Chain A
Amino acid sequence: MPGIYKKRMQDKEVAQFIEQESFLNYCFKRNDEDIRYWEKWLTENPEHVLQVEAMKQMLILMAEESRDRLKRQHFSELEERIAQSKFPQVAKRIVLWPRIVAAASIILAVSFSGYFLLHTTQLQQTAYYKNDIPPGHNQATLTLANGKKIILTKGLSGKLAQQGNTLIGVNSQNAVAYTATGANANLPAAYNTLSTAIGEQSPYPLVLADGTKVWLDARSSITFPVVFNGKDRIVKITGEAYFEVAHNNDHPFKVTVKDQTIEDIGTHFNINAYTDEKVIKTTLLEGAVKVSAPASSSPSIKTGVKLKPGQQSILNNNTLNVANADIEETMAWKNGYFRFNNEKIESIMRKLSRWYDIDVQYSGIIPDEEFYATSSRYRNISEVLTMLQKTKGVHFKVEGRRVTVMQ
């Protein structure tokens, strides 16, 4: 049987079952009538038993995972709001109780289904926190073509601005969207920039004129045309951003960051390109991208590599490598938590310093260990530090905005 015909057959098979609500009712045991109907059908068509059983199990697992993902996301939004409201009381506290606080953090970390290792030997509790530092929050700044700035915080609605024949506003999906209200083809190119400072993260997805969605992490920016005219759709970013690109075969979507260009066709991917990180990491979740550095002297890097979903490209001055990615770790920022997976303390402190606006100092030998930890982003820094402290040999001191790291 030719390959394509077989593929279509399989898709059709799936559709034949799924399109019947009674089949879904059978799988999820919603009502007796449909359960009886399909059990009878299976006795009459035993050659389908294995296939149906496998599909049922897959659907149930999909139900579980989708629920898990949504609940995690919604709960982390709740946590952020709790943190916002709690802060005024916390500021008055001078010394925190590391053990009790750590217990609460541990419970919540486990619920986030992250990787968490506890060091069981009793370490000297020499943590000293003179004050605490609150977490970042959801805020971003939109700069229009004429330089006017609009601060985006949660809870906005309706129209925000107009750029020529494009309306910028919060849509029914709670995203900041660029919508054409008239013809735009002959207008001069205008660029807007969405940016986040230290301690800020996208409060809404940004929906560009072509339907592409973008989320920004802290200390990041995206510069984009108000309207896409021309063969290529080109945007520029700094820092870290996650894209869900709207499919358009005739107009390739390109992201430029420093010297790297990522070209894709209809895809979900994350780019991490902070200037204080030595490498640019591009992680593909879905679809296909080509990553290249057109100005590179190396011909292979100039041509670039194609990524498959689940892969990550790592661009260093002269090398472009591809590795398998840990998707949960890559997307943790967008889902409202930190996930450290075999990570050195310096890398961890760099990540924390984008969210907590701290000044990091190292006293003595820098610990060489690798850390595993998962922690909500919306907790004060003491809670994250206390958790890190419990896992391995590292201690922290917090005074004002300065965090000192010691062994």
Chain B
Amino acid sequence: MRKGKDLKGEWDAFLQTGSERAFYDLYDHYHDYLLYIGLQKEMPMEKVKDCINDLFLYVFENRIKLHTVSHHHNYLVTIFLRSLFRKRHFSSSESLMFDEEQLPDMPAYPSAEALYIQQNVQEQVAQILKNYMERLSSSQAKMIYQKFYLGLTYEEIAQANGVSVKTVYNTILQAVAKLKKLIGTGHIGTLATAISLLGIFILIFLRIS
């Protein structure tokens, strides 16, 4: 998965040309990463989201000033954490750098496989799933995102949403069970299944032999 530091091209493009595409790409990445760090530090979801938007609003309004920043990743994360823990000084100076070692990486996520599944899933199934996810209540969608995409633990999610671990567990379980019923068994991505099945059989053969 791409790391924040790899987005130097987008950062430079935005600073120099104000490219909206580059701005959106930066948001696309940091939205998940900063939500992960913030929620992991047991801050409520709304607050973390607001701090992320505060940060990006600041970047948007001050892009002319920011050309002095040499390490965009450290800079963004530092400003974000300061704002999250209520330190009020927004400045373009990098005087307070955090220790990079202290910040966790996001849990692993199978992006390549995700892309493959999206491209090979049956049209009908994709549509049912999309509609279903759009219809979920905001708390259901949030928790699924937090558990499946961000990889937070049940405790961390309970803390972030102000509910009990049991509630998180039940919410997610219900959402999954219901969707599974809607789709039916074994219908998802027949093509993808067939191909990965081949992979699994090969694995089985290798293990047996």
Q: Are A39 and B203 in contact (CB under 8 A)?
A: yes
Stretch at the interface among B27-35, B70-78, B88-96: B27-35
- With beta carbons under 8 angstroms apart, the residue of B142, B175, B188 that contacts A54 is B188
Q: Are B114 and A69 in contact (CB under 8 A)?
A: no
Cα-based distance from A9 to B131 in the complex (angstroms): 26
Residues of the A chain whose Cβ atoms lie less than 8 Å from the Cβ of B130: 65
Cα-based distance from A28 to B173 in the complex (angstroms): 16
- With beta carbons under 8 angstroms apart, the residue of A14, A30, A53, A286 that contacts B200 is A53
Cα-based distance from A7 to B177 in the complex (angstroms): 10
Known: A43-B204, A63-B144, A107-B20. Contact between A82 and B57, CB under 8 A?
yes
Give B174-190 as 1s and 0s: 1 = Cβ < 8 Å from A's Cβ atoms.
01110111010111110
Stretch at the interface among A71-79, A158-166, A190-198, A337-345: A71-79
Q: Are A67 and B32 in contact (CB under 8 A)?
A: yes
Residues of the B chain whose Cβ atoms lie less than 8 Å from the Cβ of A327: 131, 134-135
CB of B66, distance to nearest CB on chain A (Å): 16
- With beta carbons under 8 angstroms apart, the residue of A30, A46, A309, A310 that contacts B107 is A30
Q: Are B173 and A15 in contact (CB under 8 A)?
A: yes
Cα-based distance from A172 to B188 in the complex (angstroms): 38
Residues of the B chain whose Cβ atoms lie less than 8 Å from the Cβ of A258: none
Known: A15-B177, A30-B108. Contact between A78 and B117, CB under 8 A?
no
> Does B97 count as interface, using CB distance less than 8 angstroms?
no
CB of A328, distance to nearest CB on chain B (Å): 6
Interface residues on A, range: 35 or more
> Does A64 count as interface, using CB distance less than 8 angstroms?
yes
Q: Are B176 and A62 in contact (CB under 8 A)?
A: yes
Cα-based distance from A187 to B110 in the complex (angstroms): 57
CB of A235, distance to nearest CB on chain B (Å): 19
Q: Are A53 and B197 in contact (CB under 8 A)?
A: yes
Q: Are B162 and A59 in contact (CB under 8 A)?
A: no
Known: A75-B27, A309-B135, A327-B131. Contact between A81 and B177, CB under 8 A?
no
- With beta carbons under 8 angstroms apart, the residue of A43, A49, A107, A244 that contacts B137 is A244
Cα-based distance from A185 to B144 in the complex (angstroms): 38
Residues of the A chain whose Cβ atoms lie less than 8 Å from the Cβ of B197: 49-50, 53
Closest to A60 in B: B114
Cα-based distance from A135 to B109 in the complex (angstroms): 38
Considering only residues 4-46 of chain B, those with a C-beta below 8 Å from chain A are: 20-21, 24, 27-28, 31-32, 44, 46
CB of A325, distance to nearest CB on chain B (Å): 9
The binding surface of chain B is classed by DSSP as helix
Residues of the A chain whose Cβ atoms lie less than 8 Å from the Cβ of B109: 28-29, 63
Cα-based distance from A24 to B141 in the complex (angstroms): 17
Give B150-175 as 1s and 0s: 1 = Cβ < 8 Å from A's Cβ atoms.
01011000000010000001001101
> Does A31 count as interface, using CB distance less than 8 angstroms?
yes
Q: Are A62 and B173 in contact (CB under 8 A)?
A: no
Known: A30-B108, A59-B148. Contact between A11 and B169, CB under 8 A?
no
Known: A15-B173, A53-B197, A65-B130. Contact between A70 and B57, CB under 8 A?
no
- With beta carbons under 8 angstroms apart, the residue of A10, A66, A285 that contacts B135 is A285
Interface residues on B, range: 35 or more
Cα-based distance from A81 to B58 in the complex (angstroms): 11
Q: Are A49 and B151 in contact (CB under 8 A)?
A: no
Q: Are B137 and A331 in contact (CB under 8 A)?
A: no
Q: Are A19 and B169 in contact (CB under 8 A)?
A: yes
CB of B51, distance to nearest CB on chain A (Å): 11
Q: Are B149 and A66 in contact (CB under 8 A)?
A: yes
Q: Are B133 and A66 in contact (CB under 8 A)?
A: yes
> Does B85 count as interface, using CB distance less than 8 angstroms?
no
Residues of the A chain whose Cβ atoms lie less than 8 Å from the Cβ of B154: 21
Q: Are B56 and A78 in contact (CB under 8 A)?
A: yes
Cα-based distance from A108 to B21 in the complex (angstroms): 7
Q: Are B24 and A75 in contact (CB under 8 A)?
A: yes
> Does B2 count as interface, using CB distance less than 8 angstroms?
no
- Listed residue (A30, A42, A69) with the most chain B CB atoms within 10 angstroms of its CB: A69
Known: A28-B110, A53-B193, A57-B192. Contact between A78 and B53, CB under 8 A?
yes
Closest to B47 in A: A174
Known: A28-B109, A63-B145. Contact between A53 and B196, CB under 8 A?
yes
Known: A54-B185, A63-B148, A108-B20. Contact between A11 and B177, CB under 8 A?
yes
Q: Are B117 and A61 in contact (CB under 8 A)?
A: yes
CB of A215, distance to nearest CB on chain B (Å): 10
Residues of the A chain whose Cβ atoms lie less than 8 Å from the Cβ of B145: 63, 66-67, 69-70
CB of B93, distance to nearest CB on chain A (Å): 22
Residues of the A chain whose Cβ atoms lie less than 8 Å from the Cβ of B121: 57, 61
- With beta carbons under 8 angstroms apart, the residue of B61, B141, B148 that contacts A69 is B141
- With beta carbons under 8 angstroms apart, the residue of A19, A70, A286 that contacts B142 is A70
Q: Are A57 and B204 in contact (CB under 8 A)?
A: no
Give A96-116 as 1s and 0s: 1 = Cβ < 8 Å from B's Cβ atoms.
000000001001100100000
Known: A57-B193, A82-B60. Contact between A49 and B200, CB under 8 A?
yes
Cα-based distance from A85 to B30 in the complex (angstroms): 22
Known: A49-B197, A60-B113, A285-B135. Contact between A173 and B46, CB under 8 A?
yes
Q: Other than the known A54-B193, A60-B110, A286-B135, what 13 A-B pairs have Cβ atoms closer than 8 Å?
A: A18-B176, A39-B203, A49-B197, A57-B188, A57-B189, A57-B192, A58-B176, A62-B129, A62-B144, A65-B134, A74-B31, A81-B57, A104-B20
Ordered by A's residue number, 9 sampled pairs between the chains whose C-beta atoms are within 8 Å are: A19-B169, A24-B148, A43-B207, A57-B117, A63-B144, A64-B114, A70-B142, A107-B24, A285-B135
